Amino acid sequence: MNRLALTTAGAMGLALLASGPAMAVAAPAATVTTTTTCGPSGLQAGLMTKVCAEITGTSVVVYGQVGLAGPPSPGGPGPQPQQLITTLDANVVGGQSIGSSPKYVNFLASTVRVDGVSGTVACGDTVHAAFGVATYPWAPRPVTLDVPVSC
């Protein structure tokens, strides 16, 4: 086959491919990242507590954490089980409530995550979250967090 025939056959093949049905190429999906922000820790009921918010786009999940304030005393009896009364609240600053979740939580020694509040907010809003922990005879001293939702 000479060069002219080969070039002509190649051009005709390309023309046939170009005139065929167009195939859609899927655009890559936009990745949405989750950002976790936690407020400062605070002591409540003799335990270390903090409140955190996970933000994915306009979805917000608020949770609290309860852990030991320090290592147990060497040679001591170890941590005793405690029944805690927790309250988790979240709202849009100057706006609607995202939710409130009072719960009883059993705590022994390992860090416990307390879930219960989630919702959707508008871009640019600021979420205010509070997490309170109480057990007899200690009243709650809620830890708080203010975090903007930037989309």
pTM of the entire predicted model: 0.77
124-139 pLDDT per residue, tens: 999 999 999 999 999 9
Binned at pLDDT 50, 70 and 90, residue 80 comes out as: confident
Query: DSSP alpha helices (H): ranges in 20-136?
Result: none
Whether the ω angle into residue 137 lies within 30 degrees of 0, i.e. cis, is: yes
Binned at pLDDT 50, 70 and 90, residue 17 comes out as: very low
Task: Tell me the two tokens of residue 92.
Answer: 């849009």
The reply to whether 65 falls in a domain is yes
The reply to whether 5 falls in a domain is no
CATH at 132 = 2.60.40.10
24-48 pLDDT per residue, tens: 555 556 677 999 999 999 999 999 9
98-151 pLDDT per residue, tens: 999 999 999 988 999 999 999 999 999 999 999 999 999 999 999 999 999 987
Backbone angles phi, psi at 83, to 5 degrees: -100, 120
Give the angle 10-14-17 at the CA atoms, nearest 5°. 140
The reply to whether 22 falls in a domain is no
Domain coverage including residue 123: 34-70+80-148
With a cut of 50, say whether residue 4 has pLDDT above it: no
Per the structure, how many domains does the chain have? 1
Q: Could you give the C-alpha distances from 108 to 49, 74, 105, in angstroms and in order?
A: 14, 17, 10
Task: Tell me the two tokens of residue 21.
Answer: 């049905």
Backbone angles phi, psi at 10, to 5 degrees: -65, -45
Q: Are 117 and 66 in contact (CB under 8 A)?
A: no
